[in-house]
Structure formats: structure tokens, C-alpha cells
Amino acid sequence: MMIYRFIITIFLIPVFCFAQNQYLDTSFNGTGKFFLGTVFNYPNSNSEYITDAVEQPDGKVIFLGISHSNSGFFEPIYCTVFRLNTDGTLDDSFGNEGVFQYSTYQHQRNLFNVASKIVLQNDGSLLIAGVGYAVANNLNSDLIVMKLNANGSIDTFFGENGISRLPILIGNNLKINDMIVYNDVIYTAGRANSYAYIASINLDGSINTNFNGLGTLILDDTSLYYNDIKKLKIVSGKLLAIGISKDSSFNIRLSLARVFLDGSLDISYGTSGIATPALIGETNESILDYQLLPDDKLLTIIGGNFYQVNKYGLLDATFGTNGFIKNPYNESFLTATITADKKTILSKSIIDGPADIYQSFKTVRINSDFTKDAGYYNNGQVLTNVLAPEHYVQAPAKVLALSNGKTLVAGTVTTIPNPNVSSIKQQKYVVVRYTTAGTLQTQDTDKREFLTYPNPVKNTINFKTLEKVKKAEIYDLSGRLIKAESKIENNKIDASALKYGDYILKITTDKQVYHSKFIKE
């Protein structure tokens, strides 16, 4: 198997929203951004997208994705796992120089059609769950679980040569949304055709026949148009399945089920073990994250909005308006995480140009009282055009609140390698890391070490620093470079030619970089 790997470090200063992009953590791969392409096969299109990510206790981060190159009759689909060091470089002690990939190179016989979830074990090993076609029948799909050792090699003692298959014999429209491990047993959940399911295997890769006798439980409610479990959690020794459903009138509902570890429903919960409170007016069908609260209450984030249910599976009338609080940005988001201090970080793509291809990442933080967190970067948000100065499709898929207080966003960027052939598109993985929220990456906390004056400015900007100045640059607020000087005398810059407006002065010294906003009269 030949892998073409392209790792790109962008040194260009972002054009879009420079004032916010200075929150990029340049101790991460030198730019705050990491790019990885593994199946570049021009002139063929490819797809590479993140599906999950997890931080290790040592601060390294592991990413799971799918890499797919449409290169002819054979369409290899790779399960891709890569691990980054804390400095944003590939960890060459993992897999093949930081990357593990798996593919059978057989048309419609790849192990994974999609690899969805990754779980980090206490010993550093990894469990990867996804979906693949059944071995002998394309009409059905199997749940696939693969185990990797901590060094990114396949654990051949798990299942059959590192792979476990669990048939879900109700068609090939199968997806997996979550995976957890409890008492040395693996539980997964998702959707099979219009039904929700929970499946279980043992840590050796064998089917857990103690769970409903088959290792699978199909949640079939004939009153629902479909049912889809998004999250799994153990609560008081029982499985809590958290999902989304639509009823026969196509109204979106929460779908909650409590299941004993033997695969039987807890009939004391909801109606015969299942509760489906209606979400009036909700249009989003994605549960981005959740939080268990005292008194067995449950907070869920659906597309960026907040819903809370009580211990009976009913919307909690003491929360917001009938159990609902709309997010203060009044927007839908693609990914979210609830932090240890009960704040919520959300990320999405935004359109920042005249066409849909002009996109950037938008990441925000909401306080525990569901207001905008003004102390998070620039008044609660940070915007990043990850391919500056160009704008292409940019889609965040996973946001992590790292243990060091920094925010990490992982996703996909799409480029058109040949502008004359717009139908050929190449995708790459992208990981962006920001500084600790509320601080500038290169701005010293001691303001006395750097001072600019006067403000507003008529003709000359003066600045004071004890450090050796290497370069001075002036940008407008769109991030466009207006002026650059490498020879500065007496710590002064001529600003007489600037038009009236707001600007940003960037001073690079032999120790660090300073930014100062000023007004030109």
C-alpha cells in the first residue's frame, strides 16, 4: 500500500480577521495550524475528514478519520489514525511516522466504509469502531471494532487478528455514533435503517452474548418514523441511550432509553423504558454533547441549543422555557464540548465571502449560565480562515478543550489544485490550536515593556521597548498588510500616508511579537 503524505505549514499571515487570528498558538507546529494529506492522487478527487479525536493524559492528541481517493474502479477507503505531539508535529513513535492506515484495497470490500469513534484505554491502547459491509452479503452491514496498541500497531490478540465483527442483520444502512467501555465490556450505539440499536462485545473481541443473548438490542418503536442513538453513558450501573427521533408527523424528539447490562429495558423509565419528549420547533438533528446533572437530570446540546430533561425523561420545566434555552449566538453549530467548569465551546463553518466556497472556522464559548463568554478570545469568539489568504470549504468536525486550557479544533479543508478544473477537489485534515483563552499568543502580560503613542496618530507612531526591533508592520482590520519596515530608526514609523481609520501595529522583536491597535486621524 503506497501512501502519499503531504504536511503543510502555512507561514502566510491570515487576511481574514487578523486581529482574531493572532490567538493562534504558534508553539503548535510553528503556525498554530497542522495540515495532513494522505491520499493525494491528482487528477482524481479525494476525501479526508475527521470523525473523532481524544487527548491523552500526556497532552498528545489522537485523531480518527477516513481517507478516500476516487482513483478509478478500485476505491480504497482508509481508516486513518494519526497522533500529534504537544508541539503540533506528528509523533513518529506512533504507526508509520505518526500515521496508521488500514484498507483492504478491494472494491466494496474495505474493512471500514466509515470509521466513527475512537476510545483511549487506560493502558494507552485504542479501540476504533466503524461500519463495513458484511463479509458475504452487500445487503447487510457489520459493526466493526479494531484494536490498536499504544504504538499504533494492530493488537492481533483482539478478535481475529485485531478485528471484531458483529452482524446487524437488518440492512446495510448502518451507522455508529458512540462507543464506551464499562467493566471490561464494549458498548456501541447508533442507527440501523430506521431503528436505533445498542451492541456489545467483550474486550477480547468476542460477541457479548450476555447482552440480550445476541450482543445486540434493536429499539423498535412503531410510533416513530426513525430512531437514532447518538450518545451512550453508564448511569447507576445502567446504560443511558441518548438520541434523536422523528415521529410519524416528522416532529423532532429526544429519544432516551435506560437499559440493563443484560440488554433488557428498564420499564420503570419513560414508557416501557423509552422516553421521547418532543422538541417543538427544533430543526437540528445532531446531539453535539451532553452533561449529567444532580437528581438524574440530563442537559443536551442539540445543534447548539440546550435542552434539559428530568429523571423521568420529561423536559424540565424549571430550565429556561419549558426545558429549552436557545444559544446566545442564535446559530447552528457542527461540534461542541462541555468543559470541566461547565462552559460550552462550539465550532462551525461560516461564510465570509460572496460565494459558498469562502469559508472560515468560527469557535465560540458560552458560560454556564448560557450567556456569551466575553473573556473567550475576542468577545466570546475566534474566527480563523485556515487557508489564508485563500478561502475554500472549511469544515470543523471536532472541538476539544485541552487540559492546558487551550482550544483545539480539527476538521477538513477542501482545495482546488487546478483552478481550471474546478470539478477536481482535494481534501486535507486540518488541526488548529489556539492559545489559552483570553490571552494573545505573543503579547506579554507586562504592558510596561511595550508602549505605543500617540493614539490617535496624525503623522508618526512612536513605540517604546527595551528589546531589539527586527520588523514593524501595519495591517488594516481585514488583515491586509499596509506597510512593512525592517529598518526602524529611533522606534518611529511614518504613518502620514495612511487613510483615516483603525489599524493594527505589529512589532517583531528578538524576543517576541507585540500587537497594538491605533486610530489614524
Residue-wise pLDDT tens digits, 137-185: 666 778 899 999 999 999 999 999 999 998 886 766 788 999 999 999 9
**In terms of domains, do 244 and 276 share one?**
yes
In a domain, 22, yes or no: no
Q: Could you tell me which of 396, 424, 369, 471 has the C-alpha nearest to residue 43?
A: 424
Tell me phi and psi for residue 466, to 5 degrees.
-85, -5
Residue ranges making up the domain that contains 240? 33-434
Cis peptide before 417 (omega within 30 of 0): no
Would 441 be classed as within a structural domain? no
Residues 233 and 23: their CA atoms lie apart, in Å, by 34
Are residues 136 and 262 both part of a single domain? yes
Cell numbers 464499562 label which residue? 182
Model confidence at 18: pLDDT above 50: no
Q: Is the pTM of this model over 0.75?
A: yes
Backbone angles phi, psi at 19, to 5 degrees: -60, -25
Q: Does residue 75 form part of some domain?
A: yes
Cis peptide before 389 (omega within 30 of 0): yes
Instruction: Give the end-to-end CA distance of the chain in Å, rounded to a whole number.
Output: 62
In this structure, the answer to whether residues 369 and 514 fall within a common structural domain is no
User: Does a structural domain hold residue 299?
Assistant: yes
Between 63-67, 100-104, 119-123, the lowest mean confidence (pLDDT) is in: 100-104
In a domain, 425, yes or no: yes
Q: What is the pLDDT of residue 511?
A: 74
For the cut 90, the answer to whether the pLDDT of residue 341 exceeds it is no
pLDDT of 449 > 70? The answer is no
pLDDT exceeds cutoff 50 at 10:
no
Domain boundary among 401, 434, 467: 434
Residues 56 and 90 in one domain: yes
The residues, any chain, with a CB within 8 Å of residue 403's CB and separated by 6 or more, are: 55, 57, 59
Do 425 and 455 have their domain in common?
A: no
479 shares its domain with 428: no
What band does 39 get if pLDDT is binned at 50, 70 and 90? confident
Return the C-alpha cell found at 11: 507561514
C-alpha cell at 97: 511516522
Over pLDDT 70: what percentage of the chain? 86
pLDDT digits (tens, 9 = 90+) for 209-249: 999 999 999 987 777 788 899 999 998 899 999 999 988 88
Residue, of 93 and 394, whose pLDDT is higher: 93
Q: Please, which pLDDT band fits residue 7 given cuts at 50, 70 and 90? A: very low
CATH number of the domain to which 505 belongs = 2.60.40.1930
Residue 32 near residue 432 (C-beta atoms within 8 A):
yes
CATH number at residue 172: 2.130.10.10
Residues 360 and 424 in one domain: yes
Residues 509 and 468 in one domain: yes
Element (H, E) at 21: helix 18-21
pLDDT value at residue 216: 93
164 and 57 housed in the same domain: yes
- pLDDT average, residue stretch 48-72: 89
Contact call for residues 179 and 154 (beta carbons, < 8 A): no
Q: Is residue 28 part of a domain?
A: no
Are residues 229 and 122 part of one domain? yes
475 and 423 share a domain? Answer: no
Number of domains the chain is built from = 2
Residue 376 Ramachandran class (φ > 0 left, ψ -120 to 50 alpha, else beta): beta
Q: Which of 407, 434, 461 corresponds to the end of one domain?
A: 434
Q: Percent helix, strand, coil in the chain (nearest 5)?
A: 0, 50, 50
pLDDT given at position 387:
83
Rounded Cα distance between 82 and 34, Å, is: 12
Does residue 445 form part of some domain?
no
User: What SS3 state is found at 18?
Assistant: helix
Percent of the chain with pLDDT over 90: 51
What is the CB neighbour count within 10 angstroms for residue 226? 18
Selection from 168-182, 224-238, 443-457, 496-510 with the highest mean pLDDT: 224-238
Task: State whether 382 and 494 are in the same domain.
Answer: no
The answer to whether position 230 is within a domain reads yes
For the stretch 307-310, contacts whose Cβ atoms lie closer than 8 Å and that sit 24 or more positions apart, written own/partner, are: 307/254, 307/279, 309/254, 309/256, 309/275, 309/277
